[in-house]
A and B are shown apart, each in its own frame.
Chain A
Amino acid sequence: MNLKTEYMGLSLKNPLVPSASPLSETVDGIRRMQDAGAAAIVMFSIFEEQIQHDEKALDHLLSAGSESFPEAMSYFPDLGEYQVGPNQYIQLIGEAVQAVDIPIIGSLNGVSHEGWIDYAKQIEQAGAKGIELNAYYIPTDPTLNGEQVETMYIDVLKAVKKAVRIPVAIKLSPFFSAMANMATRLDAAGADALVLFNRFYQPDFDLDHLEVVPNLDLSTSAEMRLPLLWIAVLCGKINASMAATTGVHTGEDIAKYLLAGADAVMTTSALLQHGVGHIATLLNELMAWMESKEYESVEQMKGAMSQQSVANPAAFERANYIKALEEYKTQYDA
């Protein structure tokens, strides 16, 4: 059985790629994922804002109160060079590249033009085989219109593409008025892959303390419908390859995404829940399913159920919605 796939110009031994998560924070974690069967690793994301914050905090707190009281010119010893900013991240990529054979894909979340370009270059220099732009922007400014927001994405992508030679993927949110059009614009701007979709940071309320708190739940299989829809719709309409992310918990989930047209399938939640060993389980389940359906290769599966391929393309549009409701009724009213 041939699980090989091409994703963002990289040859992968199978379509399963662990996406950004704390599992990639150590070389050991990365090695264990490779050993369990991962075809490539998307590193955890480096956040430009976080870096700025950390650097400023370090500088501020190390120098607070210094040079102002005659008995204490400072409050800390000078430890020379500090590994701040992207240094530790870049170093980790370098070490990971040495430690494993599978491609390492850097992941980056920037806020400024400079940040995107600087860090992307450094990721490339460290030996990453690709970069995933984690375009994570919440347009809370009411004066920004959709066109402006879309242009920001396009500009960032173009800038990074210009700055590096390695392939660049862009991870998107589903919240565009015209998702298909947006995808083709990114495709035209040179994206080597689209990663669908980013799960937005949606803060929660702490009712005990009446505070807004960050909260991120692990995904469930039910959440894969939205990416599934759009991968199926976009399959064959863009040149960029596509990775599916969100909701992959079983080998069958992988199969669905491949059938929709994904070139790679990413998972995090399942690995955080079940451990790194679950990669092997997922692959085994995928192979078992393929065997049962007599698929010989992943290539054969890719896009088999995309909008272009299915007998009734309208099934992905409004009709599909109506059909789902009807089925729902008949199923339970019978």
Chain B
Amino acid sequence: MSTTRTIIDGNEATAYMAHKINEVCAIYPITPSSNMGEWADQWSSEGRTNIWGTIPDVVELQSEGGASGAVHGALQAGALTTTFTASQGLLLMIPNMHKIAGELTSTVFHVAARSVASQALSIFGDHSDVMATRTTGFALLASCSVQEAMDMALIAQAATLATRVPFVHFFDGFRTSHEVSTVEVIPDEQIRAMMNDEQVLAHRARGLSPERPVVRGTAQNPDVFFQGRETVNSYYLNAPDLVQGVMDQFADVVGRKYKLFDYFGAPDAERIVMLMASGAETAHETVEFLQAQGEKVGVIKVRLYRPFSEKHLLQAIPKTVKAIAVLDRTKEPGANGEPLYKDVVTALAQAAADGTLSTAGMPRIIGGRFGLSSKEFNPGMVKGVLDELKKEQPKNHFTIGIHDDVTHTSLDFDSNFNTEPDEVVRAMFYGLGSDGTVGANKNSIKIIGTETDNFAQGYFVYDSKKAGAQTISHLRFGPAPIHSTYLIQSANFVACHQFVFLLKIDVLKNARAGAVFLLNSPYGTDETWDRIPRPVQEEMIEKNLKFYVIDAYKVAKEAGMGGRVNTIMQTCFFAISGVLPRDEAIEKIKGAIRKTYGRKGEEIVKMNFNAVEQSLANLHEVPLPDRASGTLEMPPAVPPEAPEFVQRVTAEIMARRGDELPVSALPVDGTYPSATTQWERRNISLYVPVWDEDLCIQCGNCSLVCPHAVIRAKKYDAAALTDAPATFKSVPYKGKAVSEGTRYTIQCSPEDCTGCGLCVEVCPAKSKEQAGRKALNMAPKENRFDAECENWAFFKELPDVDRQSLNLAQIKDVQFTRPLFEFSGACAGCGETPYIKMLSQLFGDRAMVANATGCSSIYGGNLPTTPWSCDANGRGPAWSNSLFEDNAEFGFGFRLTVDKHRKYAEELVEKMKDRIGAALADELIHAEQKTEADIAAQRERVAEMKKKIQGLESPEAQQLVSVADQLVKRSIWLLGGDGWAYDIGYGGLDHVLASGRNVNTLVLDTEVYSNTGGQASKATPRAAVAKFAAGGKPTGKKDLGMLAMCYGNIYVAKISIGANPRHALRAFLEAEAYDGPSLIIAYSHCIAHGINLQNGLEQQKRAVQCGYWPLFTYNPDLAKAGKNPLTLTSKDPSIPLKDYAYNEIRYKMLTHSKPKEAEHLIKLAQSDVDSRWAMYKKWAAESQPESLDTKGA
């Protein structure tokens, strides 16, 4: 076993090398490349040096555009500079890439290739981003595996210095970036041997210096630009040979051999495939398998795609080849073939014309698409493509891996074709994110991969929920390097860490005959069998599985580990999988536990050790009966009353059968129905709030703060209770001027509740007899589940309260408005969603929402379902996500259209006054639309007008019908997080706010990039730890509100729903009422703060009490009335910042790692708070100076 062998993922492998051979890294987070920047930042903060002995400077920018600018600048000043990015991030770098290449500047951009958003965003892997950079002049070098990611990172760097051509080094997002695998680490001396210091010095010498000044970046005219462009040709022509030279040198120094076009397979192959990156590994495995069966097949792995070397390509193609399939992991709609295919066709056609073809004749070449957005690409698909090449008329422009029943591009393939070698252990684990399954599996891989001679591989599949997320781990172990870059198809070990999965997904689908099946069951060995659904029982018997059961919850509970069953299930895996001798395995698990948890404290180690011991004692083999005896069937994914689309499409995605959906099942333009989370009913909590109707004071706070809109209130006439279920709770409604017999109910949706407990925390009604008991109390769901489901169904059918009868300035009344944002997949106890829900309740039926990419766009719009909903009239928020950086402008565009169409509608109304009626026309144009009643009246007017003009044939009438709805006032909302508003989107936000147009902005300020895992933004406060600010953020939080207030005509509010819900509500109403731009900055507690989210509201109070988060509104309308526009609502700070901050791990962890620095920073942070508070207070206390306007009045 080599001492340099380790287990890492593609991101770490790449970052390891990049950090060794660069001086400056300019970074910005974007999935799936963020981890590369995180590693580099962490290593630099730990003081790790590059091979020249200096610590690389790692700097976060405000966007990828910014990062590329900084890279360009650093390069021009002569530093070895890199960046890490993907997808849209890479696209934002394109302008600079043209410049960098045009200036023949050596650099490597490391890219975890990811889909570019089109009909939808996707975080997963394909080459659409990389292919978009083809015209920049960057070289494109692909890695196929985690090992290659490290190797090519070095080769790219050596090559860029040798050729002066800048490089994109890319590998597949997730499949390679996130696959953990056995890697031989290249030692420093070999890296040194690969780096030519002369070239490094030459690169530096080309940097700008006032000691030897030059200008670079001139503007050129038609006379010379063209010729100037052609000056670089020789560099591109020489590059392929130079890159091959570097690869040859690498083979000498390191031992692994690569070619620009690497051929594997039969020397006399007749059919070959060509492709780039991870898919090539699967093709390689398949080709070897088929070759062993006598098939004349081969694969060319394209490593250097740009500059494209026809010479090297022709050399790689065996003379015997008759047919070639070129596979592209991208799509160019409208093109006559994807890029690699066209390049290959061109190369061979040219060679044929030139007479330089090495093959007997011109081979048949077909091209096709595969693997978009990490679509599975397995040996069956490779075989499908190779089989296609046998045909007389093979299909060109094909797709593989999907079923295209519309344009019939797809090739058939055998989904049962299996090439997995027998000596490889293939283990699959179904778990929850929160039970620690993935972490434990990564641990197992480390143990087996580093402490035995086995090679190891781990790949993890997640869903897109932040609470209750399912995970599937695919682990392989074997005596030889593992090249299977696809999901396990035939597992010899399957573990199901959550019993409920047996009712939802086909856990045993990939279990091979005779496989081991380990089940975590709360029912004990005797009862478990009967609890398993019948189809699963049948599958177990048919496949003759070896069945083991453990009650891991019980063991975890007794060991003090709560719901984290990870260590227990890991121990069971080692005990029964036979990968290692049992005792040795247990010792190694303990060693790993000490390594993983030791630095977090001895207690955690002891707790886990205890769990290991107890696991073995509680693990039992259960013999299978001869036949299935169960009575349970797998329930349908959605109830039968769900709409047709949900049944046909959404439900399939929910049941993890989305891969089987044909093209025809999906909308052509990315348009999906809203209000679909209601059908998902995820049942992720074991506890629900139970209402004590006698204690309840009917304040509405619980429904206000519920992040998931599962707890709701209605008031209704007693007559509605006629058919109420027996356990349905109802009390007389308390309120002023309540009509006789009005009843009130608070009802929780038991299947949608996440158990966050915020409703209980906020409930102010306490029992006088029993301290601690409130009007809402969490209780186990088990005993009341059926009854509460029935109650919820009944509750939903009760009519919504008429909005016109409500005073929406009162929280008590807001509870009766229907949330049009419900049951999202946000974290249980999310601090953002209560604000979004409030927005949807107040303005949802006439709102258009532009949502910046981030947490809110993911829980708001990630398939399968969307929480954006509609009311009984079918009205609800119209929602869309454009990009991360452009959201303000995107929403501003909504406003432009709305204003234009409204204006146009008014013009048409004016023109058609006679047909419409003068009075109605006048009202349509001039009626006030301030209250709910005003809006309702206007809607009626519009309906009346439509009735009058609907049948008319005149073009004007038709035009008016199409824009008539715009006469009802629309509410435009720009929604996003602090990463958008403070950083990447700030330029646009600033511009849109300054425009004076009526848009409302809601900034969900979690003070970090939450969605990508907690990287620092300019909203991150001083002294808090975040990624990219691992030593505690040394600078203070940007005061976004203050910047906006400086304009004078922007409504600004800083709110906190936990500290002052009434103030928050008022801010929403004022922002919407203000006829101009508005900005609401909402404190959003977050999992990335390191708090128990159940305490989120309490923590919000502390943030306000200590003065850190002053609540204020700045209303320009007040200034117009001669008053001070700034109203400071919070009181003088009453607690020190520490009392707030040190309840959160983001602050506290620094006291555990660098106590002195923590002390220093918290003092500075306190003085930030003090001075800012003093400033706000002074400003708020000033009376408004008389302006010129008011003087004359």
Contact = CB atoms under 8 A, between A and B. Distances in A.
B466 interface: yes
B31 A71 contact: yes
B992 interface: no
A330 interface: no
Contacts of A118: 602
A90 to B, nearest CB: 12
A286 B498 CA distance: 70
B1087 A58 contact: no
Contacts of B602: 55, 85, 118
B1012 A61 contact: no
B1178 interface: no
Given A62-B600, A67-B439, A70-B174, A75 B464 contact: no
Contact of A70 (B123, B1149, B1154): B123
Contacts of B464: 69-70
B680 interface: no
Given A68-B462, A72-B1011, A82 B433 contact: no
B601 A59 contact: yes
B471 interface: yes
Contacts of A55: 600-604
Nearest to B825: A69
Given A51-B603, A76-B1090, A210-B766, A58 B466 contact: no
Interface string A214-240: 000000000000000000000000000
Interface stretch (B157-165, B715-723, B809-817, B1022-1030): B1022-1030
A72 B1012 contact: yes
Nearest to A78: B42
Contacts of B1026: 76-77
A142 interface: no
Interface string B824-840: 00010000000000000
B1153 A82 contact: yes
Interface string B17-28: 000000000000
B597 A79 contact: no
B469 interface: yes
Contacts of A74: 1013-1014
A63 B439 contact: yes
B257 interface: no
Given A58-B1145, A68-B434, A71-B1013, A52 B1025 contact: no
A42 to B, nearest CB: 22
Nearest to B435: A68
Contacts of B604: 55-56, 59
B453 interface: no
Interface in B968-1021: 1010-1014
A67 B600 CA distance: 18
Determine the main DSSP class of B at the interface with A: mixed
Contact of B599 (A51, A56, A81): A81
Contacts of B599: 80-82
B66 interface: no
B38 A77 contact: yes
A85 B607 CA distance: 14
A60 B562 CA distance: 10
A132 to B, nearest CB: 22
Nearest to B1012: A71
Nearest to A77: B1030
Interface in B382-417: none
B1027 A76 contact: yes
A73 interface: yes
Contacts of A76: 1014, 1025-1027, 1088, 1090, 1145-1146, 1149
A310 interface: no
Contact of A62 (B771, B1029, B1090, B1092): B1090
A77 B1087 CA distance: 14
Contacts of A212: 771
Nearest to B1086: A75
A82 B466 contact: no
Contacts of A72: 1010-1014
B591 interface: no
A51 B601 contact: yes
Nearest to A81: B599
B1092 A211 contact: no
A70 B42 contact: no
B462 A79 contact: no
A280 to B, nearest CB: 28
A194 to B, nearest CB: 30
B859 to A, nearest CB: 10
B201 to A, nearest CB: 34
A62 B1025 CA distance: 12
Interface in B1057-1091: 1087-1088, 1090-1091
Given A62-B1149, A77-B1025, A79-B1025, A69 B433 contact: yes
B438 interface: yes
B46 interface: yes
A65 B439 CA distance: 11
B35 interface: yes
Nearest to A85: B601
Chain B CB within 10 Å — which of A61, A64, A73 has the most?
A73
A56 B771 CA distance: 28
Interface string B1029-1055: 110000000000000000000000000
A59 B827 CA distance: 19
Interface string A68-104: 1111111111111111110010000000000000000
B433 A68 contact: yes
Contacts of A54: 601
A68 B431 CA distance: 9
Given A70-B174, A85-B602, A79 B1153 contact: yes
Nearest to B45: A77
A66 interface: yes
Given A76-B1014, A79-B1149, A69 B603 contact: no
Contacts of B772: 210-211
A73 B600 contact: no
Contact of B600 (A59, A71, A77, A211): A59
A52 to B, nearest CB: 5
B41 interface: yes
B1014 A83 contact: no
Contacts of A58: 600-601, 1145, 1148-1149, 1152
A71 B29 CA distance: 10
Nearest to A58: B600
A275 B607 CA distance: 42
A57 B469 CA distance: 22
A158 B1009 CA distance: 54
A59 B41 contact: no
A252 to B, nearest CB: 37
Contacts of B471: 67-68
A275 to B, nearest CB: 20
Given A59-B597, A67-B438, A69-B462, A81 B1153 contact: yes
Chain A CB within 10 Å — which of B439, B1010, B1013, B1014 has the most?
B1013
Nearest to A26: B1159
Nearest to B374: A70
A67 B433 contact: yes
Contacts of B123: 70-71
A204 to B, nearest CB: 13
Chain B CB within 10 Å — which of A69, A82, A211 has the most?
A69
15 contacts: A51-B603, A52-B603, A54-B601, A55-B601, A57-B1145, A59-B601, A70-B462, A71-B31, A71-B1012, A72-B1014, A82-B599, A84-B600, A84-B601, A88-B1152, A210-B766
Given A68-B471, A74-B1013, 8 more contacts: A51-B601, A59-B597, A71-B31, A73-B1013, A77-B38, A77-B1025, A81-B599, A85-B603
Q: Which 8 A-B pairs have the closest CB atoms?
A: A68-B433, A55-B601, A72-B1013, A67-B438, A77-B1030, A79-B1153, A75-B1014, A82-B1152
